[in-house]
Amino acid sequence: MRDAENVTVRLADYQPPTYSIDDIALVFSLDADATLVAARSQVRRRGEAVAPLALDGKRLDLQSISIDGVVLDGSAYSVDPEKLIIHAPPANFRLELVTRISPAANTALEGLYMSSNRFCTQCEAEGFRAITYFLDRPDVLARYAVRIEADKANYPTLLSNGNLTESGDMEGGRHYAIWVDPHPKPSYLFALCAGKYESIHDQFATKSGRNVALGIYVDPGDGERARYAMDSLKRAMKWDEDTFKREYDLDLFNIVAVRDFNFGAMENKGLNVFNSSLILADAETATDADFEAIEAVVGHEYFHNWTGNRITCRDWFQLCLKEGLTVFREQEFCADQRSRPVQRIKDVKRLRARQFGEDAGPLAHPVRPSSYQKIDNFYTATVYEKGGEVIRMLKRIVGEDAFARGMQLYFERRDGTASTVEDFIACFAESSGQDLSQFMRWYEQAGTPAVKSRGRYDEKTGLYELTVSQHIAPTPGQAKKTPPPIPLWLSFIAKDGARIAAKLEGDTISRIEHHLVLVNEETTFRFNDVLEAPIPALLHSFSAPVTLDDGLSIEERLAQMAHDPDPFTRWEAGQAIAREIMLSDAKAHAPALAIALGRELDRAQEDPAFAALALRLPDLNELILASPSPDPEKLHAARESLRKTIAAAHRVRLEAIAGAPGELPFSPSADAAGRRALKSAALDLLASLGAEAAGVFSDAYQNATSMTEAAAALDALGQSNSEAFDDALEQFYQRWRENPLVIDKWFAVQAASPRRDALARVRRLREHPDFNIRNPNRVRALAASFAMRNPRAFHAADGSGYRFLADLAQAIDPLNPALAARLLTPFESWKRFDEQRQQHAKSALEQLKALPELSKNTREVVERTLA
């Protein structure tokens, strides 16, 4: 069936619903090919006048309809698979619907579908309408009671939201379970899972004494690999009580892991559904990055119980209200569990890698978009990562105390409601007494502010003047911008590293740390009593999501690298030097950077995770984004040349680190992970030496005692042009062929390998028997790894990389439109390149645009990218 005409939905057009549904009772008679869904809703008109009731649907087959027990006459309603309109219903009534759906035929993975012979749902954003006709919008909150009936032998476990109130056997080998969720919720938080699982169980006692039974349901045989997820869940529950005074509110909390899932995980009330890649981990099969991601995402989905579920979004434009805030909470949780500075640097790296490019291209949109065609296309780095940064800035601007009070005010005042960003910000205006209207610009304007600063020091008077300006380039639909308030956390050091105190004009005392806010396009901050020429650092802990041109010399940056008290500033100084060398061919400075990085190796014992981050140079995508006319080949060569200089300078020490035996027994702790991260960074740098270092990588691969070490060695082999890469790949495949999550890594490491034969490899992999176009994890392992982690091959001058991605998206689109649309986001940078590449990218996108049956999701992304 063809999708309806693309309709643009606008924030400005928001209208409250004409009807409310306060209670809904659902009965699912589960069958893979034909599931019957009986829905009994209590419907209430909100206005005085008689009005039609329009319910959303998707691919639905209506079997029966009645109002207050009376079958409805055909003239009283109109119905098609996408809409059910009851022309003039009473003001208050019971609506009973029966629809028939086919979970086995549902390849889009939204609504009710099958994964590995188990039933599973995904309803955010608009999947509930593929289950029954409903007011499928987040501002309609109902209490749900769900009865699930299914064949007992095939589907022994039946799960839904809330508490289990009853279960039992039925005739014909079937059984049932009844779940009641006492908390009113929007339909996107509905969930149902049924099938054969192995489960692990634990419990958590809340501060006020509620005993919560915790369960994680996974594929049979995988139970032990869910232990770390369970441990993360308990830590998250405790942390939210300690940090935000939030307690859990049901007697049960269940997580189900699913192999075929479009997202990372979903926060359905009391029944989180997770991509199995974010639940299953052990030393042999998961990397430290996997462990970290599990901790982060388990925390994230749990934290949604308050920021998302109890307080939900009025409409989908407010997505950042739950996502940005929950990303912030997740990052704070991880920072408290691990090293705060290391966490901060990783968050900044992710923001720059995913969000800055989005902000600079045709898909740029504000943290709160003002229009969309498919909301599925707005689960973006801007809404999530920049949305999280906006909360962090809010905290910096109002201060810790007012932020904490504002959060509690928000939890108390908005509990049980569908809210807006304005409702949220009002709590902080009240708690801080500040006018936050200018702050709203962070939600309303797209684009990354470019901050420029220049200092002038007068030795005679001790006056230091720092002029700081900001500018946001035009983005689609927003030609003119107004300055948002930018928090600057500033301090000074001298050339020898000593901290310099200074008295800000108007301040009464000298300080070594200054918390400023740039509210205008340009401001000159004046500091008195400055005893020597200062080196300023403006963005301690990356205090705002901006780019910074501070005009510092290489010598000044080297001083920051060695001495600045702020770890982010030390790391950033090294990155900035490396960027300058690679982008402007300032090779003369390479040896100085190598020496400075040697000092990081000297002190690597103190914080190996930090040293590992320092040793990793800005990646090719970052250089492409920073270059006015990027040539991927040239940039790759410049990067390899600098890496080689550094690797050659420290070869002996790097080889010693890379060759150190693995630690046994394995611990996923931050300390142990930090030591492995240093080892991986050493292997990565040595890879720049090419095949001559291949022996080190082969040894590292053979001696690996954890997946982190094995994957790092494989990655280095993939970069080194050594033939040993294929031998190791074959060995890896034979060992892990039965484990899909590990085989995803096998696909990914090949797709990301920057060898000359990259495209031929990904083409072969697409034909591999283990490639499955219906499994999002496998598709992303191949396509996203290629397009996002292998920019030289993706942006090949002959357009072959572009064609590969467009062809794959075209094949996936009829099956899974949301996945196909997301795969295309790497095209967002196409206009930055030369004429030839632009032509190739454009023709690949136009080939998609010309398809008459292209889904609404993919069409929106293609058209916006081309515009």
Residue 302 CB, shortest distance to Zn ion, in Å, is: 11
The residue count of the chain comes to: 867
Distance in angstroms (rounded) separating the CA atoms of residues 867 and 845: 11
Distance in angstroms (rounded) separating the CA atoms of residues 303 and 290: 20
CB-wise, 335 or 626, nearer to Zn ion? 335
Distance in angstroms (rounded) separating the CA atoms of residues 471 and 473: 6
- Residue 539's DSSP bridge partners are 489
Residue 145 CB, shortest distance to Zn ion, in Å, is: 26
Interface residues with Zn ion (CB under 5 A) are 323, 326
Residue 326 CB, shortest distance to Zn ion, in Å, is: 5
CA distances from 614 to 336, 570, 585, 697, 851 (A): 21, 9, 20, 21, 46
CB-wise, 326 or 337, nearer to Zn ion? 326
Distance in angstroms (rounded) separating the CA atoms of residues 491 and 530: 12
Residue 364 CB, shortest distance to Zn ion, in Å, is: 21
Q: Which long-range contacts (CB under 8 A, 24 or more apart) does 18-22 make?
A: 18/45, 18/46, 18/47, 18/51, 18/53, 19/43, 19/44, 19/45, 19/46, 19/51, 19/53, 19/135, 20/44, 20/46, 20/135, 20/140, 21/134, 21/135, 21/140, 21/142, 22/142, 22/143, 22/184
Residue 378 CB, shortest distance to Zn ion, in Å, is: 13
Strands 157-160 and 192-195, bridge-based pairing: antiparallel
- Which of 418, 409, 327, 417 lies closest to 367, judged by CA? 327
**Residue 593 DSSP label:** H
Give me the catalytic one of 301, 358, 389, 556: 301
For residue 419, give the 3-state DSSP assignment: strand
CB-wise, 197 or 384, nearer to Zn ion? 384
Tokens 């003119």 correspond to what residue? 480
Residue 301 CB, shortest distance to Zn ion, in Å, is: 7
Distance in angstroms (rounded) separating the CA atoms of residues 73 and 84: 14
- Residue 111's DSSP bridge partners are 122
Q: Please report the sign of the dihedral spanned by the C-alpha atoms of residue 319, residue 324, residue 330, residue 334.
A: positive
User: Which structure tokens are listed for 631?
Assistant: 């040539």
CB-wise, 323 or 813, nearer to Zn ion? 323
CB-wise, 297 or 402, nearer to Zn ion? 297
The arrangement of strands across the sheet holding 192-195 comes to: 111-115, 118-122, 192-195, 157-160
Residue 195 CB, shortest distance to Zn ion, in Å, is: 25
CB-wise, 316 or 830, nearer to Zn ion? 316
Residue 289 CB, shortest distance to Zn ion, in Å, is: 19
Q: Is 301 a catalytic residue?
A: yes
The arrangement of strands across the sheet holding 77-80 comes to: 53-56, 83-86, 77-80
CB-wise, 326 or 775, nearer to Zn ion? 326
Residue 304 CB, shortest distance to Zn ion, in Å, is: 6
Give 209's contacts (C-beta < 8 A, 6+ positions apart): none
CB-wise, 149 or 323, nearer to Zn ion? 323
HSE (side-chain half, CA atoms, 13 Å) at 759:
16
HSE (side-chain half, CA atoms, 13 Å) at 24:
26
CB-wise, 109 or 320, nearer to Zn ion? 320
Strands 92-101 and 35-45, bridge-based pairing: antiparallel
Distance in angstroms (rounded) separating the CA atoms of residues 400 and 394: 10
Backbone angles phi, psi at 514, to 5 degrees: -125, 125
The 3-class SS string of 643-677 reads HHHHHHHCHHHHHHHHHCCCCCCCCCCHHHHHHHH
Residue 122 CB, shortest distance to Zn ion, in Å, is: 13
CB-wise, 268 or 722, nearer to Zn ion? 268
What positions carry a catalytic annotation?
A: 301
